[in-house]
Chains A and B, each alone.
Chain A
Amino acid sequence: MFFNSLSFALFLPIVFLLYWLVFHKNKTTQNAVLIIASYYFYSCWDWRFLFLLVFSTLLDYFSAIMMETSTTDKKRKFWLWLTIGINLGFLGIFKYYDFFAQSFADLLHGFGFQANPFLLKLILPVGISFYTFHGLSYVIDIYYKRITAERNFIDYSLFVSYFPLLVAGPIERATHLLPQVKIKRHFNFEKAKEGVYQIIWGLVKKVVIADSCATYANAVFDNYESMNSLSLLLGAVYFAFQIYGDFSGYSDIALGTSKLFGIDLLKNFNYPYFSRDIAEFWRRWHISLSSWFRDYLYIPLGGSQGGMWMKVRNTFIIFLVSGFWHGANWTFIIWGLLNAIYFLPLLLQNKNRSNMGDIKMGWDFNSIKTISTILGTFALTTVAWIFFRAKSISEAIGYIQKMVTDLHFDSQYLSNERYSFELLFLVLVFVFVEWFNRSKVEPLSGKASWVKVTLAIMALLALGVYSDYKEFIYFQF
């Protein structure tokens, strides 16, 4: 069941009505409805993996209590590492085992040995990377005594399996979500209205922007050898907007859906393509993952406390792990590495926190400078996305090589029976809409909201891609 499917359009109002009209008496009944709905939502993908989710929930729940009640540090450490080990073990088996086995066999082959690795070829349980990190943050917080262990199993289960964030985040923190599920929610019209606006805008991002860009980006990437410089350039830009529209659209729908139930989730995107440097980009892109790595990996590794060498080492670790988190492929690792390299000059010059404030624009030289830094950051990001999108490193290198050496800039007719430049106008309109609304969560609220909602709905109907159905990219992670 996808957020942009008809089944979700039926599921959501049913759960909403049950939640607010039938089981609204206290927070336990409210939470019970949400848990049942969440388990149903998850089982729509593959009911067998529901057991994994329940097991992960039970493991983290009991480990946290055991950790809290342990009298010695040794026992606390034991429970922490047991939970981390089992959680990462599952993630490793389902997501990374085949990659490591194959990479090791390839390495042996490079030395002249023949190896036929035993591959598991398992289906990746949807959302496993998200709910594993979700649970890990909870047990680590318990270990460091930042929070107390949750004794109410229903509340804890909802924290782990809450359907708006279950399959692709945002990766929530116990300190943010648990207090909200521990109290009875009261219906708030303004919050619910905000939620609806955010859902509509998220759908526009996904169905109109991401899926349109996907048809063009796929046509270019799948045939990059026969493409010219202009098509390859446009293909990379289209993919940049595909992944942004896809993932931030998903996050908007998740946040909007959650608001309908009176629960606020962590903001996951903050107009990342308007970043003035790569450090700012990472403060605006997939915020819940970036901050997770900061809090649970970068800081425990020493963060920026141990001098420049330590900072550089930790930064590279964070980006490489972040790349690897996305998928078991060298392309993701190189994508992470590239971002680390982009980040390095800022770190060495201590400028990684120089663009923290809002973007101020006027009719002056500084504004021109700001726009050029935004465009420069976007260009760097787009080059890195080529590695993210390509099937292999050699394909990505071949793509970039052809893009910079072909030097033909005439419009090409693509395999999706469209000219390569045709989508550019839609992308530019989208950029302008986002630019002029960058101080808001979504552009539909505020003045003339009904006009904007009508235009968004018309765009969804007329410009959306429906026949060539595309899943959310981040579901595979």
Chain B
Amino acid sequence: MKLFLVFIGKILLVLLLSAFALDFIYTTVFAQSETRNKLENVINSKPQQYDVIILGTSRANNHFVSELFEKEGLKTFNYGMSGSHLFETSLLLKLMLERGWEIKNVIVETDLNLSNEKRDDGTFGRFMPFLHQSKTITNHFANEADFTELYYVPFYRYIQFDEKIGFRAWYKTLVNEPTNALANKGYYPLGFNPKANMKNNIANLVPLRNRYFEEIKHICQANHINLIAVTTPMCSNVKGMDYFKKVKALYPEIKEYEHVVEDDQYFSSCGHLNDKGARLFTATIIKDLDFKNE
């Protein structure tokens, strides 16, 4: 039995050393990458200046055409991330400022994502390689239920989020395989999809006085950033559109754009404009809004 316990001890030691080694290898590779996704592009960035930064979910990523802002002389980048929640959006803004970015205007898509204060695992996972490298990230995640194991158990975070930061992502980062995440200054155009489901039901969603939107407001105020919070278009066949009225009641400062484009021909799916629709929407927004310029 003693021999066996020693044998098991050795297996556990191998497990622990392997976890440490893999953690080191993965973190080293991810820490040096800045081109595969928007998040690492921010984390590994040097100080920069922007007139407009766009934040939000895919409904920001696919709706704000950076090129049209640039045509107006506004240096712009779209940092909208598909699937993300305001929890991660707020952190991204904090990281930009931590890295010395000077931002004049932040456009935040604040509509359906106001109903959620939880993390989005897909986006959250992408932050994990940098958990030990940034106090801002550590503090932002400190209240998560699984923070202790993610922070202290070697390689656990890579196992937990293997879909986003597993072996495949690690290998592609190592060989520096490019992605299209940073193309078009962050804007991702969608095509027209004739088979798309042009219906949606958001009747069950309830907007919250969202603590992360509050946090974003606070950060912008403290850093003299002009915050522009907007809702973005939905197709015409949506059940529960009174959600947006509740948003307005909760946050009168949020500008309503959910109806500016409604025709199905401008949509790729019910919640996402296609490129034609996004250009129409962006043009309207640019004409409509006041941007801070000095």
Q: Which of B153-195 contact A (CB under 8 A)?
A: 155, 158-163, 166-168
A458 within 8 A of B: yes
Q: Does the CB pair B168–A418 fall under 8 Å?
A: yes
From A189, A200, A418, A450, give the contact of B4 (CB < 8 A): A189
Segment with Cβ contacts to A, from B8-16, B38-46, B231-239 = B8-16
A 465-477 binary contact with B (CB < 8 Å = 1; else 0): 1111000000000
Closest to A187 in B: B1
B 219-233 binary contact with A (CB < 8 Å = 1; else 0): 000000000000000
Q: Does the CB pair A20–B15 fall under 8 Å?
A: no
- Could you tell me the distance in whole angstroms from the C-beta of A10 to the nearest C-beta in chain B? 14
Q: Does the CB pair A464–B159 fall under 8 Å?
A: yes
Closest to A426 in B: B167
From B1, B4, B11, B18, give the contact of A461 (CB < 8 A): B18
CA gap between A200 and B7 in the complex, in Å: 14
Number of interface residues of B (CB under 8 A): 25
Closest to A416 in B: B163
Contact flag A458-B18 (CB < 8 Å), given A422-B168, A463-B167: yes
Closest to A215 in B: B163
Most chain A CB atoms below 10 A, which of B11, B19, B21, B161? B11
Contact flag A466-B18 (CB < 8 Å), given A189-B4, A193-B7: no
From B14, B121, B160, B167, give the contact of A462 (CB < 8 A): B167
Contacts of B21 in A (CB 8 A): 458
B3 within 8 A of A: yes
Contact flag A193-B4 (CB < 8 Å), given A454-B18, A458-B22: yes
Closest to B17 in A: A454
Contacts of B168 in A (CB 8 A): 418, 422
A196 within 8 A of B: yes
Q: Which of B29-44 contact A (CB under 8 A)?
A: none
Q: Which of B118-144 contact A (CB under 8 A)?
A: 121, 125
From B3, B10, B155, B161, give the contact of A467 (CB < 8 A): B161
A321 within 8 A of B: no
Q: Does the CB pair B159–A466 fall under 8 Å?
A: yes
Q: Does the CB pair A457–B15 fall under 8 Å?
A: yes
CA gap between A366 and B165 in the complex, in Å: 46
Number of interface residues of A (CB under 8 A): 23
A140 within 8 A of B: no
A66 within 8 A of B: no
CA gap between A418 and B171 in the complex, in Å: 13
A 280-320 binary contact with B (CB < 8 Å = 1; else 0): 00000000000000000000000000000000000000000
Q: Which of A12-34 contact B (CB under 8 A)?
A: 20-21
Closest to B155 in A: A461
A192 within 8 A of B: yes
Contacts of A187 in B (CB 8 A): 1, 4
A453 within 8 A of B: yes
Contacts of B162 in A (CB 8 A): 464-467
Contacts of A467 in B (CB 8 A): 121, 125, 160-163, 166
Q: Does the CB pair B14–A454 fall under 8 Å?
A: yes
Q: Which of A124-138 contact B (CB under 8 A)?
A: none
Contacts of B4 in A (CB 8 A): 187, 189, 192-193
Q: Is the interface of B mostly helix, strand, loop or mixed?
A: helix
Contacts of B125 in A (CB 8 A): 467
Contacts of B19 in A (CB 8 A): 461
Q: Does the CB pair B14–A461 fall under 8 Å?
A: no
Contacts of A454 in B (CB 8 A): 14, 18
Contact flag A468-B7 (CB < 8 Å), given A422-B168, A453-B14: no
CA gap between A253 and B78 in the complex, in Å: 49
- Could you tell me the distance in whole angstroms from the C-beta of B9 to the nearest C-beta in chain A? 12
Closest to B170 in A: A462
Contacts of A189 in B (CB 8 A): 1, 3-4, 7
Q: Does the CB pair A196–B163 fall under 8 Å?
A: no
CA gap between A461 and B25 in the complex, in Å: 13
Contacts of B15 in A (CB 8 A): 457, 461
Contacts of B22 in A (CB 8 A): 458, 461-462
CA gap between A466 and B121 in the complex, in Å: 13
From B1, B3, B14, give the contact of A457 (CB < 8 A): B14
Most chain B CB atoms below 10 A, which of A21, A450, A457? A457
Q: Which of A421-477 contact B (CB under 8 A)?
A: 422, 450, 453-454, 457-458, 461-468
- Could you tell me the distance in whole angstroms from the C-beta of A227 to the nearest C-beta in chain B? 16
B 46-75 binary contact with A (CB < 8 Å = 1; else 0): 000000000000000000000000000000
Contacts of B7 in A (CB 8 A): 189, 193, 196
CA gap between A450 and B18 in the complex, in Å: 13
Contacts of B167 in A (CB 8 A): 462-463
CA gap between A330 and B210 in the complex, in Å: 51
CA gap between A192 and B121 in the complex, in Å: 39
CA gap between A200 and B12 in the complex, in Å: 12
Contacts of B8 in A (CB 8 A): 196
CA gap between A458 and B170 in the complex, in Å: 14
- Could you tell me the distance in whole angstroms from the C-beta of B150 to the nearest C-beta in chain A? 13
- Could you tell me the distance in whole angstroms from the C-beta of B284 to the nearest C-beta in chain A? 33
Closest to B7 in A: A193
Contacts of B1 in A (CB 8 A): 20-21, 187, 189
CA gap between A418 and B163 in the complex, in Å: 10
CA gap between A129 and B15 in the complex, in Å: 36
CA gap between A467 and B7 in the complex, in Å: 30
Contacts of B10 in A (CB 8 A): 450
Contacts of B166 in A (CB 8 A): 462, 467
CA gap between A462 and B163 in the complex, in Å: 11
CA gap between A35 and B190 in the complex, in Å: 59
Contacts of B121 in A (CB 8 A): 467
Closest to A260 in B: B4
Q: Does the CB pair A466–B160 fall under 8 Å?
A: yes
Closest to A193 in B: B7
Contact flag A196-B11 (CB < 8 Å), given A461-B18, A461-B19: yes
- Could you tell me the distance in whole angstroms from the C-beta of B36 to the nearest C-beta in chain A? 13
Q: Which of A177-204 contact B (CB under 8 A)?
A: 187, 189, 192-193, 196, 200
A 210-226 binary contact with B (CB < 8 Å = 1; else 0): 00000000000000000
Q: Does the CB pair A457–B163 fall under 8 Å?
A: no
Starting from the known contacts A189-B7, A458-B18, 5 additional A-B residue pairs (CB-CB under 8 Å) come to: A196-B8, A454-B14, A461-B158, A467-B161, A468-B163
Q: List 22 A-B contacts (CB under 8 A).
A: A187-B4, A189-B1, A189-B3, A189-B4, A193-B4, A200-B11, A422-B168, A450-B10, A453-B11, A454-B18, A457-B15, A458-B22, A461-B18, A461-B19, A461-B22, A461-B158, A467-B125, A467-B160, A467-B161, A467-B163, A467-B166, A468-B163
Closest 5 CB pairs of A and B: A467-B163, A466-B159, A189-B3, A458-B18, A462-B167
